[in-house]
A and B are shown apart, each in its own frame.
Chain A
Amino acid sequence: MRWLLVKDLQILRRSPLLTGMLVLYPIAIALMIGFALSSPPGKPVVAFDNEVAPGKGRIRIGNQQIDVASFAQDLLSSIQPIRVHSQAQAVEAVRDGRALAAVVIPASLPGQIEDLITQGVGSPTVQLYLNTKDPIDKEFVDQAISSRLTEVEQDVSKRVLAVAVDDLQEVLDGGSVQILGQSVPLLGLHNARTIVASTIAALPAGSPLRVALRQVVGFADLAIEGLGFASPVLGSIGTPLTVDETQLAGATTPTDAYAATIAVIVSLMFVTMLLAASMLALERSENAYSRLVRGLIGPGRLLSEKVLLAAGCATVVTLAMAALVSLFVHLEWSRFELWVVALALAGAAFGALGVAIGAVTREVSAASLLAFLISLPIAFIALVPASAVSGSVKSVLDAVAFVFPFRAALEAAGNAFSGASPGIALPLVHLAALAVAFGLLARLALVRFAD
Chain B
Amino acid sequence: MSTAPGKASSSVPVASAATTLAARSLTKRFGARTALAAVSFELVPGELVGIIGPNGAGKTTLLSILAGVLAPDEGELSRPVTEIGWVPQQPALYSKLSVAENLRLFARLEGLADPEAAVARMLEQAALSDRADEQVGTLSGGNRQRVNIAIGLLAAPSVLLLDEPSASLDPRQRERLWVFILALAKQGTTVVFSTHNVAEVERYANRVLLLADGELLFTGTPSELERAVGGDPRDFEAALLGFLHQRGH
Contact = CB atoms under 8 A, between A and B. Distances in A.
Interface stretch (B13-21, B83-91, B187-195): B83-91
B96 A11 contact: yes
B110 interface: yes
Nearest to A297: B109
A288 B97 CA distance: 13
A290 B92 contact: yes
Interface stretch (A2-10, A43-51, A87-95, A160-168): A2-10
Interface of A: 3-4, 7, 10-11, 14-15, 286-288, 290-297, 451
B228 interface: no
A311 B204 CA distance: 50
Contacts of B91: 287
B109 A4 contact: yes
Nearest to A292: B109
Interface stretch (B100-108, B164-172, B216-224, B235-243): B100-108
B81 interface: yes
B117 interface: no
A7 B92 CA distance: 14
Given A4-B105, A10-B96, 8 more contacts: A7-B97, A286-B93, A288-B94, A291-B106, A294-B67, A294-B82, A296-B109, A451-B69
Contacts of A288: 92-94
Given A10-B101, A294-B69, A3 B108 contact: yes
Contacts of B88: 287, 290-291
Contacts of B93: 286-288
B9 interface: no
Contacts of B108: 3
Q: Which 4 A-B pairs have the closest CB atoms?
A: A287-B92, A295-B82, A294-B68, A291-B92
B173 interface: no
Given A11-B96, A295-B82, A290 B109 contact: no
B151 interface: yes
16 contacts: A11-B94, A11-B97, A14-B135, A286-B92, A286-B93, A286-B95, A287-B90, A288-B93, A290-B67, A290-B92, A291-B88, A291-B106, A292-B109, A294-B67, A296-B109, A451-B69
Nearest to A286: B94
A401 to B, nearest CB: 37
A286 B68 CA distance: 19
